[in-house]
């Protein structure tokens, strides 16, 4: 039995499982491993220092897989913004078939990508944002619940409610993201109306993920209590691993008076976060992790992980869910 959904049909993938677009983590090797295993691998555009580096990474990925893959382009306000349009043009010029956008309203970018015949996925953390993305022509919504790593928004709505609300409000298919790392999560997401799942933290902890083995082991040893929410006072909430740095950020935010980002900038720089993945010291900087760490107990290959999740979900749907139906009163 194979789980066939609108998402598998639109994306041309075997399993309704997508790898999240992760800064410093979403590179060709991991994306290829996910795609070759029947999911959708994603490389993260801004992990590459320049648009031309992204071009090289896309071409490298094509030497590693002939299966569908996507490129993530996250558009966020910045004092000195990256050359977003140049990155977008490289994606189009290289003939990428699927793009995941995140951050700001995707209207401009969806128009560009759709004109080039590209399938568009957009990440949303609220029903109202998902409806806006649907209205501007996105093909699939990636719905991030409060459980997710990174930026869950400011509404604090977990997936049990958020996914059911999206099922009632959206016409386009959506995938569930946040707190999902096994077959139970996939089966539950499908039951709540999603057409697939997106996993970030779980794919970080695979053999093909390039992050340091110490960080992978730290994730296996941690549980669902080992994350913290920072930037709450700045209305830019981020869920990250609970370490010395993130606890210090939260402490500073708790001090009397208004928090200014400049008070935190040295602690939360992206360069320090990258050092965590490269050097293996979990306290070297801020790094994203979701509550799904409570479900991570091993470091499998992407192939083994995807097949295990798909098989377990199929078994739950076939044996448990159908098995509790009865025609008797």
pLDDT tens, position by position, 23-38: 999 999 999 999 999 9
- Inter-CA distances, 232 with 61, 246, 248, Å: 37, 12, 14
219 inside domain:
no
The token pair that represents 247 in the structure block: 């606890």
Residue 54 lies in a domain: yes
Instruction: Please check the confidence at residue 328 and state whether its pLDDT lies above 80.
Output: no
Residue matched to tokens 């958020």 = 162
Same domain for 243 and 199, yes or no, is: no
Residue 222: which of 176, 267, 181 has the closest Cα? Answer: 181
Whole-structure pTM value = 0.96
**Residue 272 shares a structural domain with residue 148:** no
State how far the Cα of 29 lies from the Cα of 60, in Å rounded to an integer. 9
Are 40 and 107 contained in the same domain? yes
Q: To the nearest whole percent, how much of the chain has pLDDT over 70?
A: 98
329 occurs within a structural domain: no
The tens digit of pLDDT for each residue in 197-226 reads: 999 999 999 999 999 999 999 999 999 999
Do residue 198 and residue 257 come from a single domain?
Answer: no
Helix (H, G, I), strand (E, B) or coil at 123: strand
* pLDDT tens-digit readout, 114-130: 999 999 999 999 999 99
Q: CATH number of the domain at 175, please.
A: 3.20.20.70
Average pLDDT over residues 79-106: 95
Give the tens place of pLDDT for each residue, 150-173: 999 999 999 999 999 999 999 999
Whether residue 295 is contained in a domain is answered as no
**Short-list 174, 144, 128, 160, CA closest to 239:** 144
* Backbone phi, psi, residue 299, to 5°: -125, 80
Instruction: Give the structural domain span for 120.
Output: 6-211+300-324
Beta-sheet pairing, 238-241 with 227-230? antiparallel
- 245 and 206, same structural domain? no
Q: Decide if 56 is inside a domain.
A: yes
The position carrying tokens 């760490």 is 293
Q: Does residue 197 share a domain with residue 259?
A: no
Residues 184 and 252 in one domain: no
Same domain, 149 and 238: no
- What is the domain count for the chain? 2
Enter the tokens of residue 293: 């760490």
Distance of alpha carbon 278 from alpha carbon 248, whole angstroms: 22
Query: Are both 203 and 265 inside the same structural domain?
Result: no
In a domain, 308, yes or no: yes
**CB-based contact 121:142 (threshold 8 Å):** yes
């Amino acid at each position: 039995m194979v789980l066939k959904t609108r998402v598998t049909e639109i994306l041309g993938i075997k399993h309704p499982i997508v790898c999240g677009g992760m800064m410093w983590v979403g590179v060709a090797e991991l994306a290829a491993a996910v795609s070759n295993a029947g999911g959708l691998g994603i490389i993260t555009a801004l992990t590459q220092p320049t648009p031309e580096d992204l071009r090289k990474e896309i071409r490298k990925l094509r030497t590693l897989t002939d299966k569908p893959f996507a490129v993530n382009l996250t558009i966020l306000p910045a004092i000195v913004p990256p050359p977003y349009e140049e990155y977008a043009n490289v994606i189009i010029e290289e003939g990428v078939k699927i793009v995941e956008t995140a951050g700001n309203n995707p209207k401009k970018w969806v128009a560009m990508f759709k004109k080039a015949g590209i399938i568009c996925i957009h990440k949303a953390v609220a029903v109202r944002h998902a409806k806006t993305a649907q209205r501007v022509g996105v093909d699939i919504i990636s719905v991030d619940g409060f459980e997710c790593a990174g930026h869950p928004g400011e509404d604090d709505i977990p997936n049990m409610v958020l996914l059911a609300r999206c099922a009632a409000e959206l016409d386009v298919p959506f995938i569930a993201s946040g707190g999902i790392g096994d077959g139970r999560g996939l089966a539950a997401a499908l039951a709540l109306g999603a057409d697939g799942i997106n996993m970030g933290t779980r794919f970080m902890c695979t053999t093909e993920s390039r992050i340091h083995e110490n960080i992978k082991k730290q994730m296996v040893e941690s549980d669902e209590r080992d994350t913290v929410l920072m930037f709450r006072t700045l209305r830019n909430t981020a869920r990250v691993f609970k370490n010395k740095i993130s606890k210090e950020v939260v402490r500073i935010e708790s001090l009397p008076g208004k928090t200014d980002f400049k008070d935190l900038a040295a602690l939360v720089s992206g360069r320090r976060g990258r050092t965590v993945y490269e050097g293996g010291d979990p306290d070297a900087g801020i790094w994203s992790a979701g509550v799904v760490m409570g479900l991570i107990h091993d470091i499998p290959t992407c192939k083994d992980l995807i097949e295990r999740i798909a098989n377990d979900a199929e078994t739950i749907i076939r044996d448990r869910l159908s098995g509790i139906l009865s025609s008797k009163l």
